[in-house]
């Protein structure tokens, strides 16, 4: 029997997808639930699996754009797996001296040096051109759109991470042992942002033509770097989640994003975004708003810096914070007040984020 596999609908707003890459070849025998192809939508890369066992016949090639419901491949379930002879690879025995000679290299006893010649052909000046994925093209459009359609402004502050670092240093091993996950900093920032959003609701709002929509729930988008580009999976109802629940959800979403298994529903609908450029060593930046949201908080690396406390110079772990916001809906008072509220919550986590409770109780240790 011939089974026709069709493009499923990744989400309500998506009408077409692009084939990113085939994971099998024409005529291969595939098994049910085996990953066979990666497809790109405007919002995510999805992996399709075989619906039945059989021999596959491809109906489109990598780079093709297909509509939802189009046939992407056919599987002949009447065919059985055939044994294919394996041709052993033959490796040519090439001496090291020959390779060095052909590559125009010489040895000096401690490493390699390139022999300098006047022959221009010995200099490599190659380049390659490749088509951007549908996800990357859509991301590019959204980034440009955010700059063109918003009155984006960025305000900054600095954060003393001493208290957060002390809590993590003291409890991270017990937390890992008890819950099987790391105690990171994003759960603290998520908690602090939710409290600040309640104090400054305009930051949790969007503009819809001539109206303002103010959300009374807190779905926090967390920027994640994936092989296919930047994704922003959403932690739903962050206001009612515990530290443990936030950390577990972050781990789950990050794994799905980095392995191309995240769904469109899991990366849409956030009300506010947190982006941690500090993971890559960024000291300072002006993050771009995740449109149609109205604000994004940028985190940066933690560096020991001299600061003045009680008229004395001391060294503290400092992180620079950046809040980019849409000035059409958020005024300077709200933006600065929001960032100060986040700073105060993170510098006083026991009193503000944990309501004076024991850390061990809050972290369920």
Contact 318, 299 (CB under 8 A): no
Other C-beta atoms lying within 10 Å of the C-beta of residue 360: 13
Cα–Cα distances in angstroms (integers) from residue 223 to residues 21, 68, 201, 298, 339, in the given order: 24, 28, 22, 10, 19
Backbone angles phi, psi at 127, to 5 degrees: -150, 165
Q: How far apart are CA 271 and CA 217, in angstroms?
A: 8
Which listed residue (16, 42, 327, 361) is catalytic?
327
CA-nearest of 365, 353, 356 to 191 is 353
Peptide bond preceding 267: is omega within 30 degrees of 0, i.e. cis?
no
Cα–Cα distances in angstroms (integers) from residue 313 to residues 306, 316, 328, in the given order: 6, 10, 40
Whether residue 327 lies in the annotated active site: yes
Whether residue 331 lies in the annotated active site: yes
Torsion sign across C-alpha atoms 287, 290, 293, 296:
negative
Q: Which residues pair with 67 in a beta bridge?
A: 16
Q: How far apart are CA 152 and CA 328, in angstroms?
A: 8
Contact 46, 7 (CB under 8 A): no
Active site residues: 327, 331
């Amino acid at each position: 029997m011939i089974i026709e596999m069709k493009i499923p609908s990744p989400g309500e707003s998506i009408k077409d997808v692009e084939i990113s890459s085939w994971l099998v070849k024409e005529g291969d025998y595939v098994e049910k639930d085996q990953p066979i192809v990666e497809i790109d939508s405007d919002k995510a890369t999805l992996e399709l699996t075989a619906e039945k066992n059989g021999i596959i016949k491809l109906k489109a090639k990598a780079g093709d754009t297909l509509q939802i419901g189009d046939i992407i491949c056919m599987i002949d379930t009447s065919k059985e797996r055939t044994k294919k002879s394996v041709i052993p690879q033959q490796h040519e025995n090439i001496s090291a001296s020959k390779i060095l000679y052909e590559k125009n290299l010489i040895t000096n006893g401690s490493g390699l040096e390139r022999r300098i010649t006047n022959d221009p052909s010995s200099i490599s000046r190659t380049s390659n051109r490749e088509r951007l994925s549908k996800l990357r093209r859509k991301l590019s459009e959204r980034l440009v759109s955010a700059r063109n359609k918003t009155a984006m402004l960025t305000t900054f502050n600095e954060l003393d991470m001493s208290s957060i670092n002390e809590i993590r240093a003291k409890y991270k091993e017990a937390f890992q042992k008890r819950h099987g996950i790391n105690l990171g900093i994003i759960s603290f920032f998520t908690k602090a942002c939710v409290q600040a959003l309640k104090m400054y609701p305009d930051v949790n709002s969007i503009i819809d033509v001539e109206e303002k929509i103010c959300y009374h729930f807190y779905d926090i988008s967390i920027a994640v770097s994936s092989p296919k580009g930047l994704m922003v999976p959403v932690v739903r109802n962050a206001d009612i989640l515990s530290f443990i629940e936030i950390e577990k959800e972050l781990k789950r979403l990050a794994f799905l994003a980095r392995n191309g298994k995240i769904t469109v529903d899991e990366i849409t609908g956030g009300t506010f975004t947190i982006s941690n450029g500090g993971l890559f060593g960024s000291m300072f930046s002006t993050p771009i708003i995740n449109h149609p949201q109205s604000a994004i908080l940028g985190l940066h690396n933690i560096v020991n810096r001299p600061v003045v406390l009680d008229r004395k110079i001391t060294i503290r772990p400092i992180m620079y914070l950046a809040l980019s916001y849409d000035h059409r809906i958020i005024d300077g008072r709200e933006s600065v007040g929001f960032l100060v509220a986040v700073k105060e919550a993170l510098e006083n986590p026991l009193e503000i984020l944990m309501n004076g409770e024991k850390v061990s109780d809050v972290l369920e240790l």
